[in-house]
Amino acid sequence: MVREEVVGSTRTLQWRCVESRIDSNRLYYGRFILCPLMKGQADTIVTIP
């Protein structure tokens, strides 16, 4: 059995809205910052109607 050490952050994740708008009754847009991330880490979250 191979054991891998996984390094994770113990800091609390924070979300911040940097832009939001309503383009129509059914189309909403928002842009957020998620931090802190570790070096080399990134996330993309997309919802397509």
What is the reported pLDDT for 48? 67
Terminal CA-to-CA distance of the chain, rounded, Å?
44
A 10 A CB-CB count for 37 gives 13
Count of residues for the chain? Answer: 49
For the segment 30-41, the average pLDDT, to the nearest whole number, is 84
Distance between CA atoms of residues 13 and 31, nearest Å: 16
- pTM score of the predicted model: 0.52
Query: What average pLDDT does the chain have?
Result: 81
Tell me: pLDDT of 17 over 90: yes
Strands (E), 1-49: 14-22, 28-35
Identify the CA nearest to 29 among candidates 49, 10, 8. Answer: 49
Tell me: pLDDT of 15 over 70: yes
Percentage of the chain beyond pLDDT 70 is 80
